[in-house]
Amino acid sequence: MNSHIDDGATAAPALPDIEPGLAPDVAPGLVLWSERFPGRGHWSYRVRRGTTLRFIDMEGGANASLLLYRADERGERLNIPDTLKAQHTSHLTRGHVLYSDMGNVLASIAADTVGWHDPLCGVSTAAGVAARYGQKRYQEHRNAMHRNGCDSLLIEIGKWGLGLRDLVPTVNLFSKVAVDDDGRLLFVPGNAKAGDYVELRFEMDTLVAVATAPHPLDPATDYAPKKIGVVAWQSGTAGADDVCRLSCPENGRGFANTERIYR
């Protein structure tokens, strides 16, 4: 898949990569680009501060594994343990933010029709995908090969000079994992329906890498990852009364730390 760089310019609504049907509620003049991506895909973007990406589950049952890195200092990256600890949660939804390992807010979840996104289980591996679905290699099956999340993300971050040691825990958009009475992690099918979406508003210039391979705990026996749509628009950053800023005192401090970088 190609990588994309958002240079901050306002795109004209008539450009061929704009699909108004993906986000009809967003003013066309603000939309930068929109795309539809297949399951088993992977791609990356450099997103400017003040941009929102809406991720849309096109079919129901999608999974999108997400990595974030500060664009101008890639040693700073998404930190899942700090994200969960600071907000006293084990899952992510509207009002939560995604923290870097420097205590800055890389992105905030400004809207969410799903209600639960998994930050605990990481991504699928080649061995795990082969064990569950069987092996389909590119040499024999071309684009119908069985891709896994780990290798897909390594391909994408490699385009930006990053490698295996930079592969940190992910957020799995659209997926839900619960804990039973014995402490086992259980995948919850049907968490997201067709048309559900989640919006990440970027509070820093950020490198974003995404893979749409199946969730590692998905019990489905057929390899059939679902399509997603992505719409980017100029939204501005979180205001003084924004739900993400006010959802807990830690987030207020996180936004203050972040905004000092851009003053």
Instruction: Give the integer Cα–Cα distance in Å for 123 and 217.
Output: 9
Strand pairing report for 185-187 and 177-179: antiparallel
Structure confidence at residue 17 (pLDDT): 60
**Lowest mean pLDDT, pick from 98-102, 137-141, 200-204, 250-254:** 137-141
pLDDT digits (tens, 9 = 90+) for 59-110: 999 999 999 999 999 999 999 999 999 999 999 999 999 999 999 999 999 9
Show the tokens assigned to 31.
């939309």
Token reading at 53: 């990406």
Which residue ranges make up each domain of the chain?
33-261
| pLDDT band with cut points at 50, 70 and 90 for residue 10 | very low
pLDDT in tens, 142-199: 787 999 999 999 999 999 999 999 999 999 999 999 999 999 999 999 999 999 999 9
Residue 168 near residue 66, CB atoms below 8 Å? no
Confidence grade of residue 12 (pLDDT, cut at 50, 70, 90): very low
Q: Torsions phi, psi of 228, nearest 5?
A: -130, 155
The whole model's pTM is what? 0.92
What pLDDT sits at residue 20? Answer: 67
Rounded CA separation 180/195 (Å)? 29
Q: How far is CA 28 from CA 39, 56, 75, 111, 119, in A?
A: 27, 17, 35, 19, 32
The CA–CA distances, whole Å, from 237 to 123, 133, 142, 242 equal: 29, 42, 41, 9
Rounded Cα distance between 218 and 237, Å, is 34
Calculate what percentage of the chain has a pLDDT beyond 90. 86
Q: Please give the Cα distance from 44 to 193 (Å, whole number).
A: 24
Of 126, 131, 72, the C-alpha closest to 102 is 72
Q: What is the pLDDT of residue 262?
A: 95
Q: Which two tokens stand for residue 242?
A: 């924004």
Biggest CA-to-CA distance, the chain: 55
Yes or no: say if 202 and 70 are a contact pair by the CB < 8 Å rule: no
- Write out pLDDT tens, residues 214-232: 999 999 999 999 999 999 9
Q: Is the pLDDT of residue 9 over 80?
A: no
The contacts of residue 155 (CB under 8 Å, 6+ apart) are: 42
* CA-based end-to-end distance of the chain: 35
